[in-house]
Amino acid sequence: MLTSIAKIIEWDRIETAFREVFNRRWYTNSGPLVRKVEKELERYLNAKHVICMTNYTIAKEIVREAGVEDPSLRVISLYPSVSMIPGACVSTDRDRTGTLLRNMRSSYGIDRQMDVPLTGNGRMSEAQALMILLALEKSP
């Protein structure tokens, strides 16, 4: 289970991490930090797929519109239980659900293209991902 691990992250750690983001110049659109968060959360949640989303509302709306029946599907808010700023994720053990939700989130970060009912612009930024990773660093 992903229990509450929210802690105040030291400023120096935040500053260093943001300097790295600025050096990469990759700000959003399924960047390396978002992909890393997804991998980390797959491990924490013991889920086959984790798809990061902007926030809990958008994640819920996208899942509702996807209309899939998938008992493994979960929508999880990462704020304030994990991150100091809003963010959310969806987890599933089914490949098709994962692909569908990635396609509905945005055209960036998809594993393969799939026709979707709607797109929801639910991307998580590198800044949001960074704050989650810093929190996960401090977790037991």
Contacts with other proteins by CB under 8 A: the residue count is 35
**38 touches other proteins (CB under 8 A):** no
**84 touches other proteins (CB under 8 A):** yes
Sign of CA dihedral 72, 78, 79, 80: positive
**25 touches other proteins (CB under 8 A):** yes
Count the Cβ atoms, other than its own, within 10 Å of residue 89: 26
Encoded amino acid at 135, one letter: A
**64 touches other proteins (CB under 8 A):** no
Residue 38: its H or E element: helix 32-45
C-alpha 62/C-alpha 65 separation (Å) is 5
C-alpha 58/C-alpha 64 separation (Å) is 10
- The SS3 assignment for 85 reads coil
Q: Which is nearer to other proteins, 127 or 133 (CB)?
A: 127
Residues 1-20 that bind other proteins (CB under 8 A): 8, 11, 14-15, 18-19
Q: If you compute the radius of gyration of the chain from its CA atoms, what whole number of angstroms results?
A: 14
Q: How far is the CB of 31 from other proteins (least distance, A)?
A: 10
The one among 29, 46, 72, 81 contacting other proteins by CB under 8 A? 29
The binding site for other proteins (CB under 8 A) comprises 8, 11, 14-15, 18-19, 22, 25, 27-29, 54-58, 61, 65, 84-86, 115-121, 123-128, 131
